[in-house]
Each structure stands twice: as structure tokens, then as C-alpha cells.
Amino acid sequence: MTILVTGAAGFIGSAVSTALLARGQTVLGLDNLNDYYDPALKQARLARLGTHRGFSFRQADVADRDTMLSFAEANPDVTHVLHFAAQAGVRRSLIDPYSYVTANVMGHLTVLEAARRLPNLQHLLYASSSSVYGSNSALPFREDERVDAPNSFYAVTKRSAELTSQSYAHLYGIPQTGLRFFTVYGPWGRPDMAYYSFARAIASGTPLTLYSGRRLSRDFTYIDDVVDAVLGVMDAPIDRGQARLLNIGNDRPEPVSKLIQLLEQGLGRAAVVNQGARPDADMEATWASLEAIGALTGWAPKTTLDDGVGAFLAWFRGFHPAG
């Protein structure tokens, strides 16, 4: 198989690419290497991928339709597209909404237009988000619930991508699976996410902000479990024209306060915690129902938060020696 991975220098994209290469598959990586967070981390992920003979990389923006269409024309042997490129960050979407439309709406559309020109395409998977559940209060979140009350503009763009995919599956027969990821964490992760930024704050002795809320919790999902889920879904049979949505979570929501405690224990330092009001764009609690993905693939997460945070900190100390 020849697999196109967009966002190959990103957290999930690089981890999935590594697993695909370990299976002996050919991976074509695309990423625009933007500076939403330190590009040096993206370059470090790419350096690890570059040691594999089956990996090739091109710096490109998925929202550039000429580039994407020419890429599809030049690579007709692509059998699978794993589309992870996106503009992440719930709160930044309130500051710079235009970049989210470009990356998450136009970028998704352009990938679909490229995909429908791939004569050997078997399956397109793309990253959605638990953020689409918005103000839904019934837990755990299930894929068949209505998701028409988003809390953030980021969620709007991810839901737009889901609807666009359903349309393209119907119109052009592209078999697709949207993956609603729930708070993915672990080594080589994103510095803007809470677990990583909390670790840096604790290690440096600077204050961190813990938002108020009786139920403030997240369904933290360890990266190795996410990779196993993605590969299982990619391998699962799918009919032409089918468009399905699947949660990928841990089915074990944990208080954010427990995350801080584990980081304190692992780093051997107490956190300096400031209390703050939860932003309107943030959800109070997330929890994934895993019935659908379990029935399809048999997948279930294996990593506890205690073990996952321990593995993250072992990597963190090496990547940030001063910490």
C-alpha cells in the first residue's frame, strides 16, 4: 500500500506514519510546517521519520488546491489517505478564525478533491474532534447524537469537514471515516495542550491556570492507543460511498486536577496553581462512547493516565533537559 499522510510532522500524523513504516508500507508525508507551535519539534519528528527508506516528505499546504491536485496526479498509486493536517487550538479560533477556515474547511475540501482523482483509493480517514459535541451534556458522547450546538469556532470548522465528507461520499463514492479524537497526549505531543504546558510550568516553577468547574475532566487518550485505533479503522472493510464517524477516546474521563497531581509527582515539584474562570469555548467534561469502534475493530484503549503521564515525562525530560 502507498499511503498519503497529511500533517505528517504533527503529533498524531508522525506517530501513525511511524507505525505504518514499521509495517513496511510506503508513506508520502505532507505538512506545511507552520509556526503555530515551535517548528523545531515538527522538524525533530520528521528527522525520526526520515530514517525509514519507505518515507518521503514534501512541504506543502493542503489548502493549496493546485499543489494538491498535481500531487494526486503524480501519485496515482496512493491507496489510502490519512488526513491529519489542520489548524488546532480551540481558543485561538476566537482570535484568528480565518486561519481555521483556510486550514480546516478549504484544506479539507482540497484533500477531498485530490482524493477523488486517485484511481486506486480504498479509504480516506480524517481527523475530527470531540469538540464537535459542543454543549451536549449527556455523557458519554455517542456518534449518533446531534452536534449542532458548537462551543467554539474550531468545532464549527471540524463539523463542517464532517458534513463535507458525507457529501463527497454520496456524490463521488469516496469511502471515508472521520475520527473524533479525545484529548490525545503522550511523548512528542503538542506544546499547546494542557498536559504539556502544565509540565513546562511545573518544571520551571511558573504558575499554571486551572479552570473552575465541578466536572472539569477530560477523556485523556494515550498516543499509542490512538495509533492502534487508527490502524484498525484503516484496515476495517468499508464500502464505496460509505461515510462513518467514530470516537477515539479512553472511555475513562479523569479530573484535570489528577493530571496536575501526576505531573507534580513525576517532576518532583509542586505546581503553582492559579484558579481561573473556564473560557466559553472550552467544554467542561468529555467522555467518549467506544461502542461503535469496538464493534467495528475490537479496539479498546489499554493505557491508564498514570502510565501515560509517566511515559510522557520520561520523554519530556530528554527533550527538555533543563526540566
Query: Which residues are catalytically annotated?
Result: 154
CB atoms within 10 A of CB 76: 12
Three cell numbers written together for 118: 486517485
Please give the span between the terminal C-alpha atoms of the chain, in angstroms, as a whole number: 41
DSSP state of 91: G
Torsion of CA 296, 288, 222, 42, to 10 degrees: 90
Cell numbers found for residue 155: 468545532
Rounded to 5 degrees, what are φ and ψ at 298?
Answer: 80, 5
Cell of residue 17, nine digits: 506514519
Give whole-number Cα distances, 320 to 7, 224, 268, in Å.
23, 21, 15
DSSP letter (8 states) at residue 320: S
